[in-house]
Amino acid sequence: MDVNMNVSGKLSALQVMRDAPVIPVIVLNDVKQAVLLARALVAGGIRMLEVTLRTPQALACIEAIARDVPDAVVGAGTVRSAADAQACAMAGARFVVSPGYTHAVGQACRDAGLALLPGVATGSEIMMAQEDGLSELKFFPALQAGGTAMLKAWSGPFGDVKFCPTGGVSMANAAEFLALPNVVCVGGSWLTPAEAVARGDWAQVTALAQQACLLVRKDI
């Protein structure tokens, strides 16, 4: 983990990716759980937190973490429109993760000063993102779209692109992805199991975060 990174200034996507081997994909249904979950992850060494916009409470959760957990760097996931990006910035998000890429989302993130990690699954999508100056991308859905074999194939024509595979990535296969030279980190939901969050088992979340930080990756 890049413990020397200044988290108070504007972030780049590469800084978000380099901070730890795993970016947790977080789904929250209760604002009351947001701060406690964030603190548990930070205690385990994970501070780049992707709160997905999959629930009505997501923006309120982002706002609560941004306000009450200064050691965390909260971002928003499942961002699909310029309006989503703008709302996330207003809530205090510092970075955005999207399942795909559009020029409108890219422009909204630039306007708001948000680091963007957009999802791609094809060569054409990579090229479109690169046309807008983006070379740090989320490979999504990673397992379903070809997994490590696809990333190896892309290393030739897209040798200047760095990826965060997400979708089907788990503790069981994370090391295989992280061993690839074009992978900086992975994204996954296994750090915040729904059952552990529901019962408030923050010690388990911290333990999973600590385990994730032990994963070995290329020094990119």
- The residue annotated as part of the active site, out of 50, 63, 136, 162, is 50
Q: d(Cα 72, Cα 146) in Å, to the nearest integer?
A: 32
136 is catalytic: no
Q: Is 50 a catalytic residue?
A: yes
Angle, CA 46 vertex, CA 42 and CA 47 arms, to 5°:
70
Burial class (CB in 10 A: 0-12, 13-18, 19+), 98: buried
List 63, 136, 138, 162, catalytic entry: 138
If you ran DSSP here, which 8-state letter would residue 186 be given?
E
| DSSP-derived secondary structure letter, 54 | -
**Tokens representing 215?**
């994963």
- Nearest to residue 102, comparing CAs of 78, 75, 123, 82? 82
The residue behind tokens 């730890």 is: 20
93 contacts 72 by C-beta, under 8 angstroms? no
**Catalytic site residues?**
50, 138
